[in-house]
Amino acid sequence: MSRTDAPPLPEPLRVPVADSHTHLDMQDGTVEEGLARAAAVNVTAVVQVGCDVKGSHWAAETAAAHPSVHASVALHPNEAPRIVHGDPEGTSRQGAREPGGRAALDEALAEIDALAALDHVRAVGETGLDHFRTGPEGVAAQEESFRAHIEIAKRHGKALVIHDRDAHADVLRILADAGAPERTVFHCYSGDADMARICAAAGYFMSFAGNVTFKNAQPLRDALAVAPAELVLVETDAPFLTPAPYRGRPNAPYLIPVTLRAMAEVRGTDEDTLAAAVYDNTARAFDF
């Protein structure tokens, strides 16, 4: 079988669960097909996350059309520098772009602000910092965008969804400095156990993705083991981060049971208990 083929449906969960972070617009097939496959294994709700203005509009429209979809809207941390400084090589799905400067960033943030006011938009994100893909020249634009998203989330009473890649200390610093929203979610949690304790003390949700199953991910498993049960979420970040043993093949919400079962083993609990807690946590985090 080709490594690009979709993995098979896992055994359904007995207790419904939610995928706290997915990108249906980047997956094969229709939204309806993706939601049907997810429902077949008892993944009954998904949070569709926007990464740019166009994707955020799509997320809002999709959530309006499907009761099991909840939208999150934002400019991804790597999108902010592309708006300000341009993207001549076309590294995003939007292709090559000319520099737009601060005015273009303000315009894009105004669109995110307007979308965040909609009832079916439950969160603002993914926002945060990414020191892996954006170099020093993009730091200022990322931080400005991050702070703006924090204010948008607080103004509209929405959850904040954090993208944190190689930027743990700076993300925590800005959240503390700006004042985090009441509901803050670290998507694809990537810190260690010490950081998990810091997040727990602040009441931040920690959402674990398929990379918690990877062989080299013991620090993630250590973090999952100490995270309070009431702050743990599960996600796919599909089509990325497909859990073992399907790593390298397309991810989708229907694979949540694979990750959740691995998480239950790490935490020394049964899958039904974890699924019930995760669903309740996700509904509380995203107010649905």
- pLDDT per position as a tens digit, 176-229: 999 999 999 999 999 999 999 999 999 999 999 999 999 999 999 999 999 999
Rg, C-alpha atoms of the chain: 18
Angle between helices 256-267 and 218-226 (to 10 degrees): 70
DSSP, collapsed to helix, strand or coil, labels residue 66 as: coil
Q: What is the mean pLDDT of each run of 10 residues along the chain (288 residues)?
A: 80 98 97 98 98 98 98 97 87 82 96 98 98 87 98 98 97 98 98 98 98 98 98 98 97 98 98 98 98
- pLDDT score, position 254: 98
**Total domains, the chain:** 1
Residue pair 188/241 in contact (Cβ under 8 Å)? The answer is: yes
Whether 7 is covered by a domain: the verdict is no
Chain centroid to CA 34: 17
Identify which of 214, 218, 210, 220 has the alpha carbon closest to the alpha carbon of residue 242. Answer: 210
CATH of the domain at 41: 3.20.20.140
CA 214/CA 59 separation, integer angstroms: 29
Whether 10 is covered by a domain: the verdict is no
Backbone angles phi, psi at 155, to 5 degrees: -65, -35
Whether 64 is covered by a domain: the verdict is yes
Whether 4 is covered by a domain: the verdict is no
Whether 62 is covered by a domain: the verdict is yes
Whether 219 is covered by a domain: the verdict is yes
- Domain membership of residue 161 as a residue range: 15-284
Whether 270 is covered by a domain: the verdict is yes
Whether 9 is covered by a domain: the verdict is no
- pLDDT score, position 2: 44
